[in-house]
Amino acid sequence: LEAVLRDLASVSLATRLRIEEGTQVPRSIIEFYYKNDALNDPMVSEEHITAFGWATPQEIDDIMALAIRVNDFLSGLFLGVGIRLVDFKMECGRLWEGEMMRIVVADEISPDSCRWWDIKSNDKLDKDRFRRDMGGLVEAYTEVARRLGIIGENERATHAGPKLVQ
């Protein structure tokens, strides 16, 4: 399952409900998608999820609570550097500690799985630059890394790839 949290309407929500792209939704909306490339990741409801046994009602509640916490944390962090968090995708896993199980964030949160718009210009600083063939992908990712202080003002992004943290 993929959980998507949206604070602003982007393409699918705007098209499906005929609201303008970029409109703020009344409150954060969480949607679930069945992760299956052959089926084009269809949206599913809590009914589908529980009926097919992919997650229990309690696990769905935990995923939603986690998505809201992640959103609170990330939207604040990004507002501080002049970026609006439009939406993001999150995948969860079950972490067992003895008999106890916790739902945890199980994948990366990165410009590939979030929508980030510059607050002033609304410029896209995320994977949509690639998806919509807009160019300037590396520049946008570098700009985000710079604003977050991950790389220095005059430093260039390296393409060394991620390092394993033990």
The residue ranges that bind ligand UDP (CB under 6 A) are 4, 10-13, 41, 87-89, 113-115, 127
Which one, 19 or 101, has the nearer CB to ligand UDP?
Answer: 19
DSSP state of 81: T
User: Smallest distance from the beta carbon of 66 to ligand UDP, in angstroms?
Assistant: 16
User: Smallest distance from the beta carbon of 9 to ligand UDP, in angstroms?
Assistant: 8
User: Smallest distance from the beta carbon of 115 to ligand UDP, in angstroms?
Assistant: 4
Task: Please answer whether residues 82 and 119 qualify as being in contact, where contact means their C-beta atoms are separated by less than 8 angstroms.
Answer: yes
Length of the chain: 166
Which one, 4 or 144, has the nearer CB to ligand UDP?
Answer: 4
Which one, 11 or 106, has the nearer CB to ligand UDP?
Answer: 11
What is the C-alpha radius of gyration for the chain, rounded to an integer number of angstroms?
17
Show the DSSP H helices in 43-147 as ranges: 46-51, 57-79, 128-131, 137-147
Which one, 13 or 103, has the nearer CB to ligand UDP?
Answer: 13
In whole angstroms, give the CA distance from residue 135 to residue 141. 12
Strand partners, 43: 33
Query: Is residue 136 exposed (0-12), middle (13-18) or buried (19+ Cβ within 10 Å)?
Result: middle
User: Smallest distance from the beta carbon of 96 to ligand UDP, in angstroms?
Assistant: 26
User: Smallest distance from the beta carbon of 112 to ligand UDP, in angstroms?
Assistant: 6
Task: Please answer whether residues 146 and 153 qualify as being in contact, where contact means their C-beta atoms are separated by less than 8 angstroms.
Answer: yes
Residue nearest to ligand UDP (CB): 12
Which one, 4 or 83, has the nearer CB to ligand UDP?
Answer: 4
